[in-house]
Chain A
Amino acid sequence: MPVLETHHLTHHFGGLAAVSDFNLAIEPHELVGVIGPNGAGKTTVFNLITGVYRATDGSISFADTEIVGKTPSEITSLGIARTFQNIRLFRELTVLDNVRVAHYAQVRYNAIEALLHLGRFQTEEKSILEHSLDLLASLKLESYTDELSKNLPYGLQRRLEIARALATRPQLLLLDEPAAGMNPQEVGQLMEFIQWIRQEFKLTILLIEHQMHLVMGICERLLVLDFGETIAEGKPREIQNNPRVLEVYLGETQ
């Protein structure tokens, strides 16, 4: 049974249908890609799933729970995490603190325990710190632990953003153009990296990407959006030969 399922998901900005009738079912551990030209509504789909926008119509269920109408922080606590097209780290916080803050939903101690450094405060803060350090180590960021995140090279900032998303302990990870701004060699490494985190953290992954090489190389299934409509769905090979997709991407009709 699917991890994430959307039915007739629709979103209007004023009179403009940014997403219309979007249907998707992702099985556990699947790696699905969403592609389409700029302005096709891909990021809007992510914003709908994560609760940043409230869908005009349709439903989204995650692990059997209806999530339309829940707040972004509730949805994150249920197990959906995401990264952003343009990297949005907390630039003035250290690498470690960027990851630590994403543990917020797991905190159970109250203000008084925190003030007096008593009870659950000590044990929870310790386990959050340990989990953060483990995460940084497994993503090979441990040598930058106390560096301000703005000082990291671009590729590592991308990786830190994924680490921060993983810190919320998600089941479903949404990656918004993870390869943006990378050269072909870096894209190759990123492909291996995405495959690896999927295994290591037992993730289901939905990603948006423009780099066809990456999408065709690692996604098991693709959806193609254009002007908010799903114009094709299928295995990468099928999509590559789909005449409507070629039309959208190459702007030609034969």
Chain B
Amino acid sequence: MTYVFQQLLNALQVGSIYALIALGYTMVYGILTMINFAHGDLFMVGAFFCFFAAIFLNLPFVPVLVISMVGVALLGVVIERCAYKPLRQAPRVSAIITALGVGLFLENFTLALNPYPKQVPQLLANTTWIFHGVSISSIALFIVILSLLLMLMLDLIVRRTMVGMAMRAISWDKAVVPLLGVPVDLIISLTFAIGTSLGGAAGVMYGLAYPVIDPYMGIMVGWKAFISAVVGGIGNIRGAMIGGYILGALEILVVAVMPSTYRDFVAFVLLLILLIFRPYGILGKPHPQKV
């Protein structure tokens, strides 16, 4: 029993990070119907912003988090403006190939600056409490709570504010929205800013939990988050949150009962099965194509 709780806690920690990154994939898909394959690498840049802010500016946790989120958000907006916006009328596949290119650029640019893996300094004191045999680390608890807070904030923005309503409206009908006085380009930029800043926050949290970071760390984590978004129903915000935790739980379960090398393999099997049998995910709805 203690073992189950212990694993559950681990699943929550990993799941929180997947969920935060998955939100970026799903928000961009919702508004532009494109998969921003550079998003995993933006998460990696977030971890590096965290490293630089902690090492060179010697800042404590909160400013580090803010710098990473704002820095990644700005980068996300610049990428959208320079790389994706000119392709908005082009076939979707062009934008997706560009996104893969942007991802490679970010990886190699970071690699050029940091040829070796880096160690993120310990920004928060880590205490471990033993509670009925379950060891709870304060960092794990902190990651879960902070993630949930960020997700709650996002949910409020999307559901309650005019900006959120405009985002949802754009995802339904891009042509009509500007005729209601909504500045579409600004809303798209804001969507990128919010989505990528969550990826940046995930990068910081990853650095807290697994302090060794390298330029390629965003690839596999990015894929996992993408799978999470598909599990929840791509384009669906609450779906991405739930999908992140489902994938986190699945991974921990796989490692518990199978050799740990099966972990990534099982995640991709899940992706393939979903794409065949339920491509619209758990919370998504099928969109029958009118002919």
Residues of the B chain whose Cβ atoms lie less than 8 Å from the Cβ of A59: none
Q: What interface size band does chain B fall in?
A: 20 to 34
Binds A, one of B105-113, B157-165, B274-282: B157-165
A107 proximal to B (CB < 8 A): yes
A42 adjacent to chain B (CB < 8 Å): no
The answer to whether A90 touches B168 (Cβ under 8 A) is: yes
CA distance A185 to B162 in the complex (A): 38
Contact code string A163-178 (vs B, CB < 8 Å = 1, else 0): 0110110000000000
Chain B interface helix/strand/loop/mixed: helix
Q: A97-B165, A101-B162, A107-B162 are in contact. Are A114 and B157 (CB under 8 A)?
A: yes
**Residues of chain A with a CB closer than 8 A to B153's CB:** 115
Given contacts A90-B172, A92-B172, A93-B168, are A72 and B179 in contact (CB under 8 A)?
Answer: yes
B172, A72: Cβ atoms closer than 8 Å: no
Q: Which residues of A contact B173 (CB under 8 A)?
A: 88, 90
Bitwise interface map of B from 122 to 163 toward A, beta carbon under 8 Å scored 1, else 0: 000000000000000000000000000000010011001111
Number of residues from A at the complex interface, CB < 8 A: 35
Q: A158 in the interface, Cβ–Cβ < 8 Å? A: no
Contact A105-B182, Cβ < 8 Å, known A84-B176, A114-B157: yes
The residue on B at minimum CB distance from A72 is: B178
- Which residues of A pack against B, CB within 8 Å? 50-52, 71-73, 76-77, 81-82, 84, 88, 90-93, 97, 100-107, 111, 114-115, 121, 125, 128, 164-165, 167-168
User: What 15 new A-B contacts, CB under 8 Å, besides A72-B178, A107-B162?
Assistant: A73-B178, A73-B179, A76-B179, A90-B172, A90-B176, A92-B168, A93-B165, A93-B168, A97-B165, A101-B169, A104-B180, A105-B182, A114-B163, A115-B157, A165-B180
B interface residue numbers (CB < 8 A to A): 153, 156-157, 160-163, 165-166, 168-169, 172-173, 175-184, 190
